[in-house]
Amino acid sequence: MNRAERLARLLRVLAAIIAEPGLNPLELADRAGVSERTLRRDLVQLRDLGYEVAYTSGYEVQEKLNLEGRAKHRARGRGDDALLQAVAQAVQTAGLWRDTEPSSAPPKRGRSRKAGPAPIVLIPSGEQDADFIHATGFGVENALYIRFGDQDDVLVTSPLEIDRARAQSRASRIVEDREAYVHRAWAQAGAAILREKGITRARVSSNLRAAHLEDLRAQGLDVEVDRDLFVAERRRKSAEDAASIQEAQSAAESAVVEVVRGLAQAEIKDGILWSNGGPLTSERLYAAAQLRLGEAGFTCPDMIIAGSPECALPHYRGEGPIRANAPVIIDIFPTSRKTHRNGDLTRTVVVGEVSDEVRRMHAAVVQALDAGIESIAPGVAGKEPHFAVCQVLVDRGFGTTTAGYEGPDGVAKMNHSTGHGVGLEVHEEPTLRETTDDPLAEGDVVTVEPGVYLLGLGGVRVEDTGMVTRQGFKNFTRLTRSLNPNDYL
């Protein structure tokens, strides 16, 4: 291509930008009659000529001869001057000349071509973004997903992930966008795809990062954060979902047994558990559990292996040597590296002598667990299992922080809810707590995890996970609930 032809092509690109600001890259390339690859090169050349070509709602050009711009150091050839003169004359003749000061106004929002629900736009918050995985079947750090309707969706990903996406994702269309990946412009890419269809509205997940939300709105989209997005869908577990969660629960059981084995094999020296010539610590037990989970394809970086008296704090992770003759709470909630589904299991054991107080606490918690499970059925409000658990604890001489079930002063108390949903997240809908009026439904997978805690002494918590069915609670958990470590081996 000679110089005149190149300048003529640049003129077509520039004229298209000036005549119709806000075009996305595909539209601009079509208007100018060039390929996307050629367009990218042409835009670089236009910038070198002094034009400030920016990507805002689409491609826009500052309509002035920027003789003081980035290219002022570059000598202009006669062909370049001819191009500038021709553009200036064309712009003036067309009546398109306007104020040369950059506009601060946001991109114009056109009317959406389609009525009905706005398309769903998802940009993952990370590889474990549950909404993104639910929609696409694909866990990825950076990508874009748009769902226009049933069987009408698109997953946009990077060259790095395109082959994995094709192998794993359920999206009907899977495309690669290197520019969005290189420039981290997923929101801009999403807005461009919507504009191609004449759509200016979008629904996003509450998981969306604030920066992406701002970027989408800066593109001229009317964006709604849909707090209920996928909530109902994710609650109704399919048979495949249930099998994956039950598999995760089995992995949790295996890891708990591994921890208890380490406890049972330890010696007691001066009130501390010893193993392999040194104190047995939470960290060593954690490593053993992680190894067992890893071999099965699971992970649980935040598991709890907490000795006394610190385990009186329900979410204390555990550190340092384990004390004998006192409760050890083991709470493992593994995530499958393959299915991304979770399990959740808690057991409490004591190595050595068990005090009468701890025995009473454990017996009350196990009875409360059974009462909570027995109260679960489709149509039952989520608060009812919680109240059933609280009633048992109070009847057994303990207390809770739930109004009406406080119990006596100075006794071990439960200071948390009874349970929560489990699926793509360890904690999801529904909840079993005093404020939950929403009824349980078939397909819900929930935990039941009563516990009582007393500062200075420690705590006891026992947790099972299972599914709400027509017949009641189908327990996915088979592991003993005993305080005695030997009963697990």
pLDDT tens readout for residues 454-465: 999 999 999 999
Lowest model confidence (mean pLDDT) among 20-29, 33-42, 383-392, 442-451: 20-29
CA–CA dist 402, 414 (Å, integer): 9
pLDDT tens sequence across 148-180: 999 999 999 999 999 999 999 999 999 999 999
Tell me the C-alpha to C-alpha distance, in Å, between residue 10 and each of 51, 56, 254.
Answer: 12, 20, 66
424 and 230 Cβ atoms separated by less than 8 Å: no
- Do residues 461 and 348 touch, judged by C-beta distance below 8 A? yes
Q: Which fold has domain 120-229?
A: Creatine Amidinohydrolase; Chain A, domain 1 (3.40.350)
**C-alpha distances out from residue 281 to 265, 274, 277, 484, Å:** 13, 9, 12, 19
Q: Which fold has domain 235-488?
A: Creatine Amidinohydrolase (3.90.230)
Q: Is residue 195 packed enough to be buried (19+ CB in 10 Å), middle (13-18) or exposed (0-12)?
A: buried
CATH classification of 3-93 is 1.10.10.10, yes or no?
Answer: yes
Decide if 245 contacts 422 (C-beta within 8 A). Answer: yes
Contact 100, 63 (CB under 8 A): yes
Has residue 106 got a pLDDT over 60? no
Looking from the CA of 370 toward its CB, the CA atoms found within 13 Å total 7
Q: What is the CA radius of gyration of the chain?
A: 31
Q: Give which of 380, 352, 355, 348 is closest to 449, Cα–Cα.
A: 348
Which of 303, 391, 346 lies closest to 481 in space, CA to CA? 346
Q: Would you state the pLDDT for residue 99?
A: 37
Whether 417 shows a pLDDT value over 70: the answer reads: yes
In which band, very low, low, confident or very high, does the pLDDT at 105 lie, cut at 50, 70 and 90?
very low
Q: What Å distances lie between residue 178 and 41, 185, 287, 366, CA to CA?
A: 15, 10, 40, 55
DSSP state of 23: B
- In CATH terms, are 3-93 and 235-488 the same topology? no
In Å, how far are 185, 217, 368, 372, 442 from 379, measured between CA atoms? 45, 40, 21, 15, 9
At 304 the pLDDT is 98
If we measure between CA atoms, which residue out of 24, 23, 88 comes closest to residue 50? 88
DSSP bridge pairs for 292: none
Backbone angles phi, psi at 429, to 5 degrees: -70, 150
What is the predicted pLDDT for the residue at 43?
77
| In the predicted structure, residue 229 carries a pLDDT above the cut 60 | yes
pLDDT computed for residue 69 by the predictor = 39
pTM of the shown model: 0.77
Model confidence at 102, pLDDT cuts 50, 70, 90, reads very low
Residue 56 confidence class, pLDDT cut points 50, 70, 90: very low
Whether the per-residue pLDDT at 83 is higher than 70: the answer is no
Q: Quick one: tokens of 299?
A: 């992970």
Amino acid at site 347: R
> 274 to each of 43, 189, 204, how far by Cα in Å?
70, 58, 52
3-state secondary structure of 430: strand
Whole-number Å distance between alpha carbons of 418 and 344:
13
Q: CB count, 10 Å around CB of 277? A: 5
Read off the pLDDT of residues 4-48 as tens digits, 9 standing for 90 and up. 667 777 777 777 777 776 666 777 777 777 776 777 777 777 776
CA gap 56, 228 in Å, rounded: 30
Where in the chain are the domains?
3-93, 120-229, 235-488
Residue 63 has pLDDT above 80, yes or no: no
Q: Is the pLDDT of residue 111 over 60?
A: no
- pLDDT of 114 higher than 50: no
Compute the mean pLDDT over every residue in the chain, rounded to the nearest whole number: 88
pLDDT one-digit tens code per residue, 300-334: 999 999 999 999 999 999 999 999 999 999 999 99
Averaged pLDDT, 97-101: 39
Helix axis angle for 186-196 and 25-32, nearest 10°, is 60
**Closest to 454 in 3D by CA, of 309, 278, 328, 316:** 309
Token reading at 489: 């081996």
Q: Can you tell me the distance from the alpha carbon of 395 to that of 364, in angstroms, rounded to the nearest whole number? A: 9
